C-alpha cells in the first residue's frame, strides 16, 4: 500500500475515531435538529453526558468486542465474537432492544448464526452491525470478496436483515478504502476516487443503497441544507437511514476529522452512531493525529477506555501484517 501516513496510525485512527464520534454524539442521541439548535446553537466539541464527558456507548463497546475477537481468534469466529459481546455488555451504554434480546438468546444457548432471526423474523434492519464493523474493514480490506463475507458473518450475529448486512458491508468497504487513501494527495482527487469506489460497490447492494449514493453525488456537487440531508439520507437508527449519511459527512469533509464528525452529530437523531461511523472512516483516512488533541484528552480512559482501544488497534495492525506476510488475507 502506497501511503505517506503510517498504516498503524490509520488503524488507531479508525478505532479511536469510532470512540470520539460516539462520545461526541452521545449526549444528544435522539435529539431533533431543532432541539440541538435550541439547546446548543451548534455542537462544537465535547459536552457532558449521562455517563460523563467523553464516554462511549454500545457502538464502541461492540467495536471493542469485534476487535478483541478477531485478535484472539486470529480470524472471524462467530461463537467467540458473540460471547465477547455478552461479556462486555453494560446496559447503561444504551443498546438497541433487538440486540439485547439476541444476546440474551445466545447466552441461553441459541447458536450465534440463528439467534437474531428469533427476535425479528426477517432480521433486524437497525444500524447495530454497521456501527461496530470498523475492525472487519481494517483487517480484511485487501480482498473485497473476503471483506464482503466477513462483514456478512459479523453482522448476522445480531442483524440478519439484508439491508443491515448490506449496510455493514458498505461501511466496512468504506473503511477499507479510506485506509488506502493517502491524505497528502489532493483532497479533490481523493474524494473523486473514494466516491467512485463507493458508488461502484453500492451498485452490488440492494436498493436503496445505490439510490442513496446517487443522492450523495448530487449533494457533493451542491450545498444541501441540514434539513435536506436529513430528509433525503436520514438520521435514524435504521441502516439505510444512517450508513449513507455517515458516508456523506465523511466525503464532504474528507480531510478534516473534526468538521466531518461535527457535521454528523449536528444533524440530530442517532447522533452517537452516525458520529461513530463517520469517525471510523475519517480516522482510517487521516490517522490518529487528525483527531483534535483536546478531544483525545477527554475520551474515557478506564479499563477498556482510550488507551486500551489504542492498544487493540495496534494489535489488529500486527495481525493484519502477519496475515499479509502469510498471504492468508
Ligand atoms: N421489523 C420491525 N422493526 C425493526 C426491524 C424489523 N425487522 N428491524 C429493526 N427494527 P435494533 P440496533 C426497528 O433493536 O440496530 C442504539 O443506540 C425496531 O424498532 O436491532 O442494535 C445503537 O447504538 C428496533 O428496535 O437495535 C444504535 O444507534 C430498531 O429498529 C441504535 O440503538 C433498532 O434495531 C440501534 O441499535
Ligand atoms: Mg448507540
Q: Give CA separation, 49 vs 22, 245, 300, in Å.
A: 12, 24, 12
Round to whole Å and give the CA distance between 157 and 196: 30
pTM higher than the cut 0.95: yes
Nearest CA to ligand 1 atom 16: 96
Work out which ligand 1 atom sits closest to the CA atom of 97. Answer: 14
Domains along the chain with CATH numbers: 7-43+51-328 (1.10.4080.10)
Taking the CA of 168 as reference, the closest ligand is 1
Q: Is the dihedral of CA 185, 2, 296, 132 positive or negative?
A: positive
Work out which ligand 1 atom sits closest to the CA atom of 98. Answer: 14
Nearest CA to ligand 1 atom 7: 124
Cα of 278 from ligand 2 centre, angstroms: 13
Q: Give CA separation, 43 vs 47, 100, 263, in Å.
A: 8, 30, 9
Cα of 36 from ligand 2 centre, angstroms: 17
Specify the pLDDT at position 3. 80
Work out which ligand 1 atom sits closest to the CA atom of 125. Answer: 8
Q: Which cell goes with 209?
A: 443503497
Work out which ligand 1 atom sits closest to the CA atom of 161. Answer: 7
Pocket-forming residues, ligand 1, beta carbon under 6 Å = 57-59, 94, 96-99, 120, 122, 124-128, 131, 161, 237-238, 270, 272-273
Q: What is the pLDDT along the chain (329 residues), one digit of tens a residue?
A: 658 899 999 999 999 999 999 999 999 999 999 999 999 999 999 999 999 999 999 999 999 999 999 999 999 999 999 999 999 999 999 999 999 999 999 999 999 999 999 899 999 999 999 999 999 999 999 999 999 999 999 999 999 999 999 999 999 999 999 999 999 999 999 999 999 999 999 999 999 999 999 999 999 999 999 999 999 999 999 999 999 999 999 999 999 999 999 999 999 999 999 999 999 999 999 999 999 999 999 999 999 999 999 999 999 999 999 999 998 87
Taking the CA of 56 as reference, the closest ligand is 2
Specify the pLDDT at position 1. 62
Round to whole Å and give the CA distance between 41 and 63: 31
Nearest CA to ligand 1 atom 13: 126
Nearest CA to ligand 1 atom 34: 126
Taking the CA of 30 as reference, the closest ligand is 1
Residues with Cβ within 8 Å of 285's Cβ and at least 6 positions away in sequence, in order, are 10, 13, 178, 179, 181, 183, 190, 250, 254, 255
Cα of 225 from ligand 2 centre, angstroms: 25
Nearest CA to ligand 1 atom 20: 98
Work out which ligand 1 atom sits closest to the CA atom of 94. Answer: 17
Task: Estimate to the nearest angstrom the gap between the alpha carbon of 48 and the chain centroid.
Answer: 22
> Which spans in 26-161 are helix H?
33-40, 58-73, 78-88, 97-107, 134-140, 144-156
Taking the CA of 127 as reference, the closest ligand is 1
Return the closest-CA partner of residue 257 out of 232, 216, 287: 287
Nearest CA to ligand 1 atom 29: 126
User: Which of 89, 96, 102, 133, when mutated, tests ligand 1's pocket best, judged by the most ligand atoms within 8 Å of its CB?
Assistant: 96
Round to whole Å and give the CA distance between 132 and 58: 9
Work out which ligand 1 atom sits closest to the CA atom of 58. Answer: 23
Amino acid at each position: 500500500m502506497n501511503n505517506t501516513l503510517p498504516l498503524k496510525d490509520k488503524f488507531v485512527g479508525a478505532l479511536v475515531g469510532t470512540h470520539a464520534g460516539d462520545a461526541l454524539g452521545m449526549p444528544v442521541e435522539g435529539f431533533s435538529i431543532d432541539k440541538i439548535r435550541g439547546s446548543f446553537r451548534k455542537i462544537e466539541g465535547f459536552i457532558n453526558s449521562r455517563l460523563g464527558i467523553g464516554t462511549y456507548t454500545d457502538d464502541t463497546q461492540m467495536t471493542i468486542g469485534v476487535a478483541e475477537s478477531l485478535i484472539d481468534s486470529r480470524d472471524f469466529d462467530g461463537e467467540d465474537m458473540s460471547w465477547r459481546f455478552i461479556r462486555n455488555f453494560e446496559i447503561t451504554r444504551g443498546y438497541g432492544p433487538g440486540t439485547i434480546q439476541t444476546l440474551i438468546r445466545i447466552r441461553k444457548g441459541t447458536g450465534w448464526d440463528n439467534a437474531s432471526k428469533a427476535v425479528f423474523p426477517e432480521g433486524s434492519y437497525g444500524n447495530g452491525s454497521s456501527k461496530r464493523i470498523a475492525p472487519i474493514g481494517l483487517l480484511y480490506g485487501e480482498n473485497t470478496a473476503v471483506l464482503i463475507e466477513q462483514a456478512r458473518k459479523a453482522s448476522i450475529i445480531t442483524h440478519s436483515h439484508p439491508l443491515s448486512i448490506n449496510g455493514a458491508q458498505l461501511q466496512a468497504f468504506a473503511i477499507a478504502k479510506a485506509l488506502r487513501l493517502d491524505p497528502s494527495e489532493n483532497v479533490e482527487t481523493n474524494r473523486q476516487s473514494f466516491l467512485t469506489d463507493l458508488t461502484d460497490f453500492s451498485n452490488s447492494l440492494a436498493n436503496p443503497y445505490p439510490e442513496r449514493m446517487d443522492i450523495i453525488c448530487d449533494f457533493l456537487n451542491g450545498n444541501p441544507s441540514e434539513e435536506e440531508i436529513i430528509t433525503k439520507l436520514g438520521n435514524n437508527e435504521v441502516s439505510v437511514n444512517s450508513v449513507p449519511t455517515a458516508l456523506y459527512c465523511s466525503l464532504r469533509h474528507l480531510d478534516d476529522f473534526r468538521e466531518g464528525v461535527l457535521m454528523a452529530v449536528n444533524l440530530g437523531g442517532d447522533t452517537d452512531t452516525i458520529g461513530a461511523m463517520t469517525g471510523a472512516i475519517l480516522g482510517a483516512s487521516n490517522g490518529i493525529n487528525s483527531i483534535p488533541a483536546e478531544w483525545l484528552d477527554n475520551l474515557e480512559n478506564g479499563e477498556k477506555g482510550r488507551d486500551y482501544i489504542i492498544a487493540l488497534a495496534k494489535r489488529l495492525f500486527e495481525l493484519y501484517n502477519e496475515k499479509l506476510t502469510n498471504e492468508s488475507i
